[in-house]
């Protein structure tokens, strides 16, 4: 058993090859969640009270968060282990882009959404680490950070160099995770001490972010030759699926897949925001009517 995936000139086989590192990481996340559940929730109220009025109200029911956590962990495991990780590290650019999209657009927001605010407070506290977190959750920092990481780790020189060894491939996966958290932090930060972008501001931010996957995808679509040496010279997994077709499919996954996932989020947020506005309007009208009735009753 290898500890992390990396490229290889070995012929592709569908014989499972699990990776110790990915199993340990997934188990660590599950263990952290289990430990938190076993501690009990009695301290949640204390933390919420401490956060006071500056905290952004947490959204999502407990069931929804649990469901998001399970989905996030399953997605994380799928990204880091055989077969997707093996295919992505050494055989198919398409598989690598599926991993990237899953990690950045699915796993990161789901894990951020599922993280209970008190756990975020435990990890980041209320001191210097929170200051750093607040800084990272600013769109002016998050956008360039996520964009530069995603463009950088998709550069052929980086990809071909990093996927050669388990260490390099591990660093690349770590960069994706960081980019994913950076991208979603302004709208999904679980710490109650960080003011999140909600409503129209959050939607505008996500629309702005949708341009990020387009940048690396552009070069992959329009290049005359395969840009990644690793995937060009890798043993073929599917007959007839050559390096150029693979690269163009990877570009489509990155651009279309990333865009679709982002717009699903944007649509969800828009509907949520619209219903909130409607509820507020309704509450306002009801309150006004009640006040008007009270006013007429009072001499």
Partner 1 sequence: MTAAPTPPWSRRRVLGFGAAGAAALALGACSLDRGSSPDTDAEPEPKGDWSGTLLDPPFPKPDFTFTDVDGKPYPIVEKTKGKLTILFYGYTNCPDVCPITLNTLARAKDGIGSGPGSNPLVLFVGVDVDRDTPEVLKTYLNAIDPEFVGLTPTGKTKAEKEAMIVDSLAVIKQAAPEIGEPDEDGNYIVGHPSAVTVYTADDVAHRLYPSNVRQSQWVKDLPRLDKGTYT
Among 101, 106, 121, 261, binds partner 1 (CB under 8 A): 121
Residue 19, SS3?
strand
Among 234, 253, 261, 262, binds partner 1 (CB under 8 A): 234
For partner 1, the closer of residues 9 and 297 by Cβ is 9
Q: Which of residues 36-55 bind partner 1 (CB under 8 A)?
A: 50
DSSP string, 221-233: HH-SS-S-HHHHS
For partner 1, the closer of residues 28 and 267 by Cβ is 28
Which part of the chain contacts partner 1 (CB under 8 A), choosing from 136-144, 183-191, 220-228, 249-257?
A: 220-228
Q: Rounding to the nearest 10 degrees, give the CA dihedral for residues 153, 259, 70, 86.
A: -40
Which part of the chain contacts partner 1 (CB under 8 A), choosing from 109-117, 210-218, 235-243, 285-293?
A: 235-243
Among 14, 16, 18, 32, binds partner 1 (CB under 8 A): 32
CB neighbour class for 110 (10 Å; exposed up to 12, middle 13-18, buried from 19): buried
Among 224, 295, 296, 298, binds partner 1 (CB under 8 A): 224
Between 166-188 and 199-209, two packed helices, what is the crossing angle to 10 degrees? Answer: 150
For partner 1, the closer of residues 138 and 236 by Cβ is 236
256 binds partner 1 per the rule CB under 8 A: no
**Which position has the token pair 């865009």?**
259
Instruction: Work out the angle at residue 21's Cα, subtended by the Cα atoms of residues 94 and 174, and round it to the nearest 5 degrees.
Output: 55
For partner 1, the closer of residues 8 and 198 by Cβ is 8
156 binds partner 1 per the rule CB under 8 A: no
From the list 58, 71, 15, the residue with the least C-alpha distance to 194 is: 58
236 binds partner 1 per the rule CB under 8 A: yes
For partner 1, the closer of residues 5 and 105 by Cβ is 5
DSSP string, 48-84: HHHHGGGSPPP-S-HHHHHHHHHHHHHHHHHHHSTTH
Q: Which of residues 159-188 bind partner 1 (CB under 8 A)?
A: 164-167, 169-170
Q: Which residues 6+ apart lie within 8 Å of 197 measured at CB? A: 139, 186, 187, 205
Residue 2, SS3?
strand
Backbone angles phi, psi at 170, to 5 degrees: -65, -45
Among 67, 82, 126, 178, binds partner 1 (CB under 8 A): 126
CB 268 within 8 A of CB 68: no
Q: Which of residues 71-100 bind partner 1 (CB under 8 A)?
A: 90
Site residues for partner 1 per CB under 8 A: 1-11, 20-21, 24-25, 28, 31-32, 35, 50, 90, 121-123, 125-127, 164-167, 169-170, 224-226, 229-230, 232-236, 239-240, 242-244
């Amino acid at each position: 058993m290898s500890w992390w995936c990396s490229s290889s000139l070995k012929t592709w086989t569908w014989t499972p090859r699990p990776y110790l590192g990915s199993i340990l990481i997934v188990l660590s996340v599950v263990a952290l969640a289990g430990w938190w559940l076993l501690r009990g929730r009695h301290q949640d109220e204390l933390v919420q009270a401490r956060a006071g009025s500056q905290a952004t109200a947490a959204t999502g029911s407990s069931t929804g968060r649990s469901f998001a956590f399970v989905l996030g962990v399953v997605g994380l495991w799928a990204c880091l282990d055989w077969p997707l990780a093996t295919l992505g590290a050494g055989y198919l650019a398409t598989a690598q882009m599926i991993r990237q999209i899953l990690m950045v657009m699915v796993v990161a927001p789901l894990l951020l959404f599922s993280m209970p605010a008190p756990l975020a407070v435990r990890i980041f506290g209320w001191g210097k680490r929170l200051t750093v977190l607040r800084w990272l959750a600013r769109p002016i920092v998050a956008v360039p950070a996520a964009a530069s990481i995603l463009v950088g780790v998709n550069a052929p020189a980086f990809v071909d160099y990093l996927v050669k060894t388990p260490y390099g491939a591990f660093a690349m996966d770590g960069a994706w995770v960081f980019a994913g958290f950076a991208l979603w932090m302004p709208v999904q930060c679980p710490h109650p001490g960080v003011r999140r972008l909600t409503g129209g501001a959050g939607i505008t931010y996500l629309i702005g972010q949708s341009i990020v996957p387009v940048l690396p995808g552009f070069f992959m679509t329009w290049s005359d030759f395969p840009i990644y040496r690793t995937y060009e010279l890798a043993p073929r997994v599917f007959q007839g699926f050559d390096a150029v077709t693979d690269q163009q499919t990877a570009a489509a996954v990155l651009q279309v897949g990333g865009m679709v996932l982002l717009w699903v989020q944007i649509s969800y947020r828009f509907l949520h925001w619209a219903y909130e506005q409607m509820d507020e309007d309704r509450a306002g009208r009801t309150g006004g009517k009640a006040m008007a009735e009270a006013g007429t009753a009072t001499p």
